[in-house]
Amino acid sequence: MDFDLMFTSFPKLIGATVVTLKLLSVSLFFGLIIGLLFAILRLNKNIFINKFAYGYSYLFRGTPLLVQIFIIYFGLGQIEYLRSTSLWIILKEPYWCAIIAFTLNTGAYTSEILRSAFQTIKPGIIEAGKSLGISNKIIFYKIQIPIAIRQSLPAYGNEIILMMKGTSLASTVTLMDLTGVAKYIISTTFKPIEVFIVAGGIYLFMTFIIHNVIKFLEKKYSFSQ
């Protein structure tokens, strides 16, 4: 055991954790919006809209995240037309490419989680709202969405943890996140176990925090109080 290396690499890895957290928070924020949008599209009665939303989630859940990042980072640069548009300012940056890939990926999973939450809302609750003369729009925003969010908290907590692990793939497109820096230290010092313990410890700590925050929220918003 090389404890010196563990001590010297710790500040570097903590610095890289900031990149990981940035990637995670930005992609979760946009992913939640996309997820909610597609969950609503999935509940639409129009078969084309419905199938489109299903296709999106099937495509992104059926392929590895690595392929999605590579298509966006290496693949899209190949299209001549894209290079001439202003979109290229975003797409030439590995940071934004990673965020786009993570956002679309977590959006697909989130849409599935929210859809099943919407479908498990008891019809009686909506009927009760209707019989009180509340408009459909308000039933949706004030009754269905809050219940669905509460219902999907445990599954969404898992998704946040999965996404946190997913951000490690940003290191494959030259971003120096926690895994990227860990790999760099391993390949220069050839001490994989020490670095794994420190980097893995930081990841586990983040998992622990996320897990407990979700648990707290679950308790706070539980139905039976």
Partner 1 sequence: MELLAFGKTGWGDELFYATLMTIAVSITAMLIGFFFAIIFTPLKLSKYKSLNLIGNFYTTVIRGVPELLVIYLFFFGGSGAIMYVASIFGYFEYIEINAFITGSMAIGIISGAYSTEVFRGALQSIDKGQFEASKVLGISKFTQFYKIILPQMLRLAIPNLSNVWQITLKDTSLISVTGLVEIMRQSYIAAGSTRDPLFFYSFAAVLYLMLTYLSMKIINRLEIKYSRGY
- The reply on whether position 168 binds partner 1 by CB under 8 A is yes
**What tokens were used for 182?**
């860990």
The site for partner 1, by CB under 8 A, has a size of 41
The answer to whether 10 touches 198, Cβ cutoff 8 Å, is yes
Closest-CA residue to 171 (of 199, 207, 204): 199
- The reply on whether position 104 binds partner 1 by CB under 8 A is no
- The reply on whether position 199 binds partner 1 by CB under 8 A is yes
Instruction: Choose which of 74, 146, 209, 215 interacts with partner 1 (CB under 8 A).
Output: 74
**For the CA atoms of the chain, what is the radius of gyration?**
21
- CB contact set of 69 (below 8 Å; sequence gap of 6+): 97, 98, 101, 169, 170, 172, 173
- The reply on whether position 172 binds partner 1 by CB under 8 A is yes
76 vs 92: CA distance, rounded Å: 9
Instruction: Choose which of 175, 179, 181, 214 interacts with partner 1 (CB under 8 A).
Output: 179
Please identify, using beta-carbon distances, which residue of 64 and 146 lies nearer to partner 1: 64
What's the closest the beta carbon of residue 162 comes to partner 1, in angstroms?
9
Instruction: Choose which of 29, 75, 130, 222 interacts with partner 1 (CB under 8 A).
Output: 75
User: Alpha-carbon dihedral of residues 180, 160, 49, 100, nearest 10 degrees?
Assistant: -20
- The reply on whether position 165 binds partner 1 by CB under 8 A is yes
Closest-CA residue to 183 (of 170, 196, 173): 196
- The reply on whether position 65 binds partner 1 by CB under 8 A is yes
What's the closest the beta carbon of residue 215 comes to partner 1, in angstroms?
15
Please identify, using beta-carbon distances, which residue of 49 and 186 lies nearer to partner 1: 186
What's the closest the beta carbon of residue 105 comes to partner 1, in angstroms?
11
The b/e string for 35-59 (b: 16+ C-beta within 10 A; e otherwise) is bbebbbbbeeeeeeeeeebbebbee
- The reply on whether position 174 binds partner 1 by CB under 8 A is no
First vs last C-alpha separation in the chain: 50
What's the closest the beta carbon of residue 198 comes to partner 1, in angstroms?
11
What's the closest the beta carbon of residue 53 comes to partner 1, in angstroms?
17
112 vs 118: CA distance, rounded Å: 10
What's the closest the beta carbon of residue 100 comes to partner 1, in angstroms?
15
Contact set with partner 1 (CB under 8 A): 58-59, 62-68, 70-71, 74-79, 161, 164-169, 171-172, 179, 182-183, 186-187, 190, 192-193, 196, 199-200, 203-204, 207-208
